[in-house]
Amino acid sequence: MRPLTLTDLNPAILKVQYAVRGELAIKAEELREKLQSESHGLPFNKVISSNIGNPQQRGLDQPYLTFTRQVAALMEYPPLAEIVKDKWPQDVLDRARELHEEIGSIGAYSHSKGVPLIRKHVAQFIEERDGYPSDPEDIFLTAGASAGVSLILNVLITPNVTGVLIPIPQYPLYTATLAQYSGVALPYHLSEPEGWSTSLEEIKSALAKAEKDGVKPRALVVINPGNPTGAILDKDTMRNLVNLCEEHSLVLLADEVYQANLHRPDTHPFHSFKQVVREMNSPIPLFSFHSISKGVKGECGRRGGYFECTNISDEVRALLYKMASVSLCPPLSGQIGVDCLVRPPRPNDPSYPLWKRETDTIHAALRQRTQLMAQRLNALPGVSCVDSPGALYLYPKLELPDKAVEEARRLGKQPDELYALQLLEETGICVVPGSGFGQKDGEHHYRLTCLCPGVEEYVSALENFHLKFLQNFGLRVSWLFGPPLSVQFIDISHIKGTQQ
């Protein structure tokens, strides 16, 4: 018998690329293994995983929220309630009892759209957030936002015909899923000089190009707050995007998984597209995605999330239900995580003080690390970095010496890949090169997360590496004795299309 080879497989799958877990991440794992040996000979003692928004990953060690885990523990093993009844807060015990009465054992399949009571709670959360009604029947619980995005793209795409507008840079879930279903990616570039703003003109020119190429644009993807950019849309831009969807009959896919990661909420608030669509009384079809993986919960491994359908007909919703049924149901542990996400403890609940302390601490750490990293990166020669107001990332731009670009070409790599590989090999810091998210020709970036503790130490290693890299490739660097004492942020909050 002939062995199974790649040529026997679905050619669409061979085209899928996912940089966040690509070459750099694999190399980082190898180095982590190597560090186990006392004679590893590496110039660092730990690998810093700044490549992935996975807050509880070993080494990042963001603490879990006690409330969430106590409810989860009681759902996993109901007899625990007897043991902890005088020790754990009453609201935890009540929540677990309520969920248990509704669900029974979490070892059973649930409704394919998710447990009805939890969908009801999601709808209440949305109503409270937006001030507009939400119907539990419009809510689908999913195995993380990724499963929701995949389901929606699957049903929207006619292979090799349907075009989907995606921001560049983008989170590679979108290009990967489009490749999987043979959809056509219609890239629109975000504007870095304007704080990664979203430009209507860019989207219109992508639409015009699609028409010329015979591609049928069907959907617009917006990631807000952005990954990898951290930009947050202002309401005017959101309204313009909704109008554009109306004009071109586009379905809007609003990826809002970072809605709780706001570093400067007073000046840079989050508005949901659901709210904007309702305020405008717009008929555009909208799918909005949320997740338990981000925010301050960081429960990535539980695989919990949801999407809400707005202006979606019963007929289409029934089809989505049919497709959701094919995978039976989202994981129950993820669904319970969603319940805790949308119904956190309230101010008078016994769990509230601890929950507040834990969430405030995480928000403060993420904010402080983002600001410090942006400040220090901006002080480096050949680096500029938008100081993200949201999400979990910075996306600095690199001016690389010509010799580094030539060397990368010689090795068959992108210049920012070469930079990221050397950074990993010399410091143990793992980032994702910009080529994995998409960027303009001739530009170089990398994405790093604000999730790594010990930021002072690790930013210093990054600075030293950068200066050495420039010098190795023949650039004379005058900044050799540490960062300037004060660094100015460029204020771009007045620019339209972003809140920076």
Ligand X SMILES: Cc1ncc(COP(=O)(O)O)c(C=O)c1O
Q: Which residues bind ligand X (CB under 6 A)?
A: 53, 144-146, 171, 173, 223, 227, 255, 257, 291, 293, 300, 305
- Decide: helix, strand or coil at residue 451: coil
Q: Are 70 and 354 spatial neighbours (Cβ–Cβ below 8 Å)? A: no
Smallest gap from Cβ 374 to ligand X, in A, equals 19
**Of 217 and 230, CB closest to ligand X:** 230
Taking the mean position of all CA atoms in its chain, how far away is CA 489? 25
CB of residue 223 to ligand X, shortest distance in Å: 5
- Choice between 74 and 340, CB closer to ligand X: 340
DSSP string, 202-270: HHHHHHHHHHHHT-EEEEEEEESS-TTT-----HHHHHHHHHHHHHTTPEEEEE-TTTT-BSSTTTS--
Nearer to ligand X, 169 or 217 (CB): 169
| Nearest-angstrom CA–CA distance, 376 and 379 | 5
| Shorter beta-carbon distance to ligand X: residue 60 or 173 | 173
Give the shortest CB-388-to-ligand X separation in angstroms. Answer: 13
| Distance from C-alpha of 328 to C-alpha of 271, rounded to nearest angstrom | 33
CB-wise, 392 or 418, nearer to ligand X?
392
Sort 485 into a burial class: Cβ within 10 Å, 0-12 / 13-18 / 19+.
Answer: exposed
Indicate the residue among 305 and 382 with the shorter CB distance to ligand X.
305
Q: How far is the CB of 166 from ligand X (least distance, A)?
A: 11
Q: What's the min distance (Å) between Cβ of 144 and ligand X?
A: 3
> Can you name the residues that pair with 166 across neighbouring β-strands?
187
SS3 state at 292: coil
Residue type for position 292 = I
Could you tell me the smallest distance in angstroms from the CB atom of residue 310 to ligand X? 18
Q: Which is nearer to ligand X, 447 or 466 (CB)?
A: 447
The DSSP H or E segment spanning 456 is helix 455-472
The nearest distance, CB 255 to ligand X, in angstroms, is 5
Phi (first) and psi of residue 450, to 5 degrees: -100, 30
